[in-house]
Structure 1
Amino acid sequence: MFVVLLKPSGQPGRAGDLLAGHKAWLEKGLADGVFALWGSLKPEGGGAIMAHGLDRAALEKRVAADPFVSGGVVRAEIVEIAPARAESRLEFLLD
């Protein structure tokens, strides 16, 4: 399981132009069963994504395809978590 932190980078002015592509990229991750949730980082801005069901190399490739990442709006930091126990609704993350 991974948490992807998308932190503001040097090109924030490009966000508006790339927003539709970024949203489509997020929705594709959800439809593919890779992204379990996402949301905004508070208060500094940026976002976070919980991803599962793929290895780090595949996730890095997917993240590189995010228009916000490739367009320099955000930089991505991937944190890997080895879950040991979960509440019953989250047991699907214990792969």
Structure 2
Amino acid sequence: MFVVQLRFAENKALAGQFMEGHKAWIQQGFDDGIFLLVGSLSPNLGGAVLAHGIDRDALSARVDQDPFVAEGVVTADIVEITPNRTDDRLGFLLS
């Protein structure tokens, strides 16, 4: 399981220009069953993605395809988590 932090960078002002492509990238992640959650980092720091069912190299390649990353709107930091214990509702993360 991975947490991807997408923190605003030097080209933050270009976010509007690349928003549709970023939204399409997010939708593709959900369609492919990789993204479990996407949300904003408060206050206005960027966004985060919870990803599962992919290896680090493939996720890194996917993140590089985000127009926000490619255009320097955000910088990406990928944190890998190996779940050892979960609430029953998240048990699927242990497999």
CA RMSD of aligned residues (A): 0.8
User: Equivalent residue of 2:42, what SS?
Assistant: coil
The AA in structure 2 aligned to 1:55 is D
1:52 equivalenced with 2:44 (yes/no): no
> How many residue pairs are counted as aligned between the two chains?
95
Deviations 1:46-74 (A, max 9, x none): 00100010100000000000000001000
**Percent of aligned pairs with the same residue?**
55
Deviations 1:4-57 (A, max 9, x none): 000011101210010000011001101101000010001142001000101000
Write the mapping of 1:70-81 to structure 2, written as runs, cut at 5 A: 70-81=70-81
Structure 2 unmatched runs, 5+: none
The AA in structure 1 aligned to 2:24 is A
User: Moved runs in structure 1, 4+ residues, more than 6 A?
Assistant: none
User: Equivalent residue of 1:48, what SS?
Assistant: strand
User: Equivalent residue of 2:19, what SS?
Assistant: helix
1:18 equivalenced with 2:25 (yes/no): no
TM-score normalised over the length of structure 1: 0.96
Q: Give, in angstroms, the shift of residue 91 of structure 1.
A: 1.3
- The whole-number CA distance in structure 2 between the counterparts of 1:11 and 1:23 is 17
TM-score normalised over the length of structure 2: 0.96
